[in-house]
Every structure is written in C-alpha cells, then in structure tokens.
Amino acid sequence: MLAAHYAAEVASGVDVLCAATAETTSWALGRVGMEHRAALLTGVSVELAQEAAAGAGRPVAVAGWLEGACLAAPNSLSLMSELALHAERLVQAGCELLLVRGVPAEARPRLLAQCGRAGLPVWIVGEPQLESVARPPAEQVAALWAAGAGGVMGATHSDTMALAEALAAHHPSGSSPRA
C-alpha cells in the first residue's frame, strides 16, 4: 500500500517525495508496543520511497519527516533525544532532505544544529504561523534561517506565499531566507 502511495505521488509530478516516517520513531511506535521496530520501519519506508523516486525518470529527492507533534514527550530534552535519534536513522536510510514540523520553538535551534551536522538540508514546515509570539513572521523565519534551516514552508501554499512576501519586505534581494 505504501509503495502504491509513493508511486502515485511520483506520477503526480512531485520533486520531493516525503517518506512516511513521521510516526516511525521509537516514541510513537512505543504507543503500540513496537518501539523496537523503529529503525526497521524507518528504513523500509525510506527504501520504498527511494525505489519510487528511482523509477520516476527524472530527479526526485526523498525527504524524511521529523515530527515533534506526534511525540507526547514529557519534556523537550526527551523530545530532542528522540528526534536526534530519528534524524540519524533518516540519514542512515539515505534521505536527501529532512522536513521538520511540530517542534517547539525553544528546541528548534538545537535540532537544526544537530541535523546540520549530518550535512542534509533541513526545511521547517508550517511553523511560523503556529507561533503566538510578538515577533513578525519574517523575523521568526529569519531566526530559523540563522539557526540552520535551509527553507521554511507554510502549511499551505497561501501561507508559504505570505511568508515569502513578508520576507521580501524585510530583506534585500538575495539575502533573505527561502520560503
């Protein structure tokens, strides 16, 4: 079923195929007593995505999800440890890009630094509009950029376009983070 999903995504013309790894962490799988299968299931998900990407006849990158919201970690240290381990698994499985969503603001810079050491681009997805802080979205995105994010995407296309417009208004051309 997952291979068919990936094949349909590739057939639809995606440039980045997102491997279904958001809930293959030990923490998430522990809810059903399968935490010992985290590395295996992460690897299988990425491998199936890579096979679909290889059959595309054009370049298709395979991305892995680091999803903080699905983890009911009792504190940010537990969350960070779990996400760092998951990031290592995604790198070992062969992902070309890491997508981060649902990670608390205070944990993002440390996570970005850890992911950056792996040498992969990291994109933050749907985060700035989730913040309830006084800083404008452009400043929030610039802070993520400074911490090592390779790009920031809104939860929807219109959110992403609004972020891009806010960034363009606050940064000279060529120096702004990508949205």
**Which whole number is the average pLDDT over 138-144?**
67
Higher pLDDT pick, 167 / 109: 109
Read off the pTM.
0.74
Whether residue 121 lies inside any domain: the answer is: yes
Residues 6+ apart with CB under 8 A from 162: 137, 154
Whether residue 25 lies inside any domain: the answer is: yes
Whether residue 12 lies inside any domain: the answer is: yes
Whether residue 35 lies inside any domain: the answer is: yes
Higher pLDDT pick, 70 / 107: 107
Distance, CA of 66 to CA of 135 (rounded, Å): 25
Whether residue 144 lies inside any domain: the answer is: no
Whether residue 110 lies inside any domain: the answer is: yes
Q: Which two tokens stand for residue 111?
A: 């996570």
Residue 179: band (very low, low, confident or very high) from pLDDT cuts 50, 70, 90 = very low
Q: Which two tokens stand for residue 44?
A: 């299988």
Whether residue 46 lies inside any domain: the answer is: yes
Instruction: Give residue for tokens 């400074």.
Output: 146
Whether residue 134 lies inside any domain: the answer is: no
**Which whole number is the average pLDDT over 13-26?**
91
What integer pLDDT is reported at residue 145 of this predicted model?
64
pLDDT digits (tens, 9 = 90+) for 76-130: 567 777 888 888 899 999 999 888 887 766 677 777 777 777 777 887 776 544 4
What integer pLDDT is reported at residue 141 of this predicted model?
66
| CATH at residue 47 | 3.20.20.330
What integer pLDDT is reported at residue 176 of this predicted model?
47
What integer pLDDT is reported at residue 99 of this predicted model?
87
Distance, CA of 93 to CA of 166 (rounded, Å): 36
- Number of domains comprising the chain: 1
Is-contact 19 62, C-beta < 8 A? yes
Q: Can you give the residue range of the structural domain that contains 102?
A: 2-125
What integer pLDDT is reported at residue 166 of this predicted model?
62
pLDDT digits (tens, 9 = 90+) for 28-63: 898 899 999 999 999 999 999 999 999 999 999 999
Higher pLDDT pick, 15 / 110: 15
Distance, CA of 5 to CA of 115 (rounded, Å): 27
What integer pLDDT is reported at residue 128 of this predicted model?
46
Size of the chain in residues:
179
